[in-house]
Amino acid sequence: MAYSTDRRSLLKLGLAAGVAGIAAPHIMVRPAAAQVPIPEVENPGFNRFTLGGFEVTAISDGFRPGDGPHTIFGIDQPQADVAALLEENFLPADRFVNSFTPLLVNTGSDLVLFDTGLGAVARGGGLGQLRSRLEASGYSADDVSVVVLTHFHGDHIGGVMEGGAPAFANARYVAGQAEYDFWTADERLSGPTENAARSVQQSIVPLAEKTTFLAEGDEVVPGITGMLAAGHTPGHMVFHIESDGRRLMLTADTANHYVASLQRPDWHVSFDMDKEEAAASRKRVFDMIAAERIPFVGYHMPFPAAGFVEKLDTGYRYVPVSYQMLL
């Protein structure tokens, strides 16, 4: 049956319904439903920009939604205070999304990868995507000439090995001397450090002969130098990247939540091994970034993980990049 919606027909239908007590027929509209599921990311999982003569590519190793963030961030604060801060910043109080972002820097002479993601063990859960997204960005694992490990937590070293062999077959490795010394000490193989130390024994120690160990101020390659920012781990390092007068800081896990860790740098974080030292490193690193207006990439910042910070009375306001790095 066809239905007309002109005025005369509607009047007739209304009159008939009033006389006969029969409801007027109406058109049933099927609710719209997308035939394609929402993708995990609306891009290939990488974001590229230039820094002077360097090409920089942020690569998403994946996203992990979960409960919190009070169970991780602000653990020394009342839960209500953490919830209030998040809600002030338009965020839910009881859920958050963690991002994991290795960084690739093409200097023209070297292809330098900072951190390796969670690796194959996490792929079943949608993480560990570095390898496939590296290829989507136009490179392969064999193209990487230097792998820099900011510290030895599993979400940074999980992708060092692939199928029991080095994932980056042609690369040499760079790590902090203090970090290596801490995790390879015999006493780490028991107690709360046991699991992480055993991962280091399996993935990092076999590569020691191909590894350069850095101290404060040491150079990775021309244009990239290391800086100790301990507390998250004893040898946690951040890196200055500079080319043709343009600068970028790679802050790794100095701050891991763009609101809780930056607006309240003194708040304790469960994953920081020395919580007071980690807070001191946050303030030292981000005071410098704010004062000198340096863009930075943070491993757990919202993808593509790049932004600026503005100094506030109690901490810093995160300002994500838009088109600045494209010009």
Asked if 203 contacts 196 with a C-beta cutoff of 8 angstroms, the reply is no
Measured between alpha carbons, how far is 327 from 54 in angstroms, rounded to an integer?
A: 14
Q: Percent of the chain scored above 70 by pLDDT?
A: 87
> Is pLDDT of 16 > 50?
no
Report yes or no on 308 lying in a domain: yes
List, for residues 240-260, the tens digit of each pLDDT value.
999 999 999 999 999 999 999
Confidence (pLDDT) at 161: 97
Task: Tell me what the mean pLDDT of segment 171-176 comes to.
Answer: 98
Confidence (pLDDT) at 321: 96
Report yes or no on 122 lying in a domain: yes
DSSP code at position 31: P
Highest mean pLDDT among 65-69, 79-83, 124-128: 79-83
> What pTM was estimated for this model as a whole?
0.88
Domain count for the chain: 1
Tally Cβ neighbours within 10 Å of residue 33. 5
Task: Tell me what the mean pLDDT of segment 209-237 comes to.
Answer: 98
Confidence (pLDDT) at 4: 35
Asked if 145 contacts 172 with a C-beta cutoff of 8 angstroms, the reply is yes
Task: Tell me what the mean pLDDT of segment 266-289 comes to.
Answer: 98
Please, which pLDDT band fits residue 3 given cuts at 50, 70 and 90?
Answer: very low
Give exposure, 217-228, as e/b (b: 16+ Cβ within 10 Å): ebebeebbbbbb
Confidence (pLDDT) at 327: 87
Task: Tell me what the mean pLDDT of segment 33-46 comes to.
Answer: 63
> Is pLDDT of 50 > 60?
yes
Report yes or no on 58 lying in a domain: yes
Please, which pLDDT band fits residue 261 given cuts at 50, 70 and 90?
Answer: very high
Report yes or no on 271 lying in a domain: yes
> Is pLDDT of 34 > 80?
no
Structure tokens at 209: 């002969």
Report yes or no on 23 lying in a domain: no
**Could you give the dihedral angle defined by the CA atoms of residues 191, 196, 200 and 201, in that order, rounded to the nearest 10 degrees?**
40
Asked if 224 contacts 105 with a C-beta cutoff of 8 angstroms, the reply is yes
Confidence (pLDDT) at 20: 42
Report yes or no on 202 lying in a domain: yes
> Is pLDDT of 295 > 70?
yes
What is the extent of the structural domain holding 201? Answer: 46-326
Report yes or no on 210 lying in a domain: yes
Confidence (pLDDT) at 222: 98
> Is pLDDT of 239 > 50?
yes
Please, which pLDDT band fits residue 33 given cuts at 50, 70 and 90?
Answer: low
Angle between helices 194-203 and 177-184 (to 10 degrees): 110
Measured between alpha carbons, how far is 60 from 62 in angstroms, rounded to an integer?
A: 5
Whole-number mean pLDDT of the chain?
Answer: 90
Asked if 101 contacts 59 with a C-beta cutoff of 8 angstroms, the reply is yes
> Is pLDDT of 7 > 80?
no
Confidence (pLDDT) at 29: 53
- Residue scoring higher pLDDT (11 or 305): 305
Confidence (pLDDT) at 24: 46
Confidence (pLDDT) at 208: 97
Half-sphere exposure of 120 (CA within 13 A, CB side): 9
CATH, residue 186? 3.60.15.10
List, in sequence order, every residue forming a beta bridge with 269; answer none if it has no partner.
73
For 57, 118, 172, 204, 209, the CA distances from 157, given in Å and listed in that order, are 19, 7, 14, 8, 17
Report yes or no on 24 lying in a domain: no
Strand segments, DSSP code E, in the chain are 46-51, 54-59, 62-67, 95-100, 103-106, 111-114, 146-149, 161-162, 165-166, 172-176, 211-214, 219-221, 224-228, 237-243, 246-252, 296-298, 306-311, 316-320
> Is pLDDT of 223 > 80?
yes
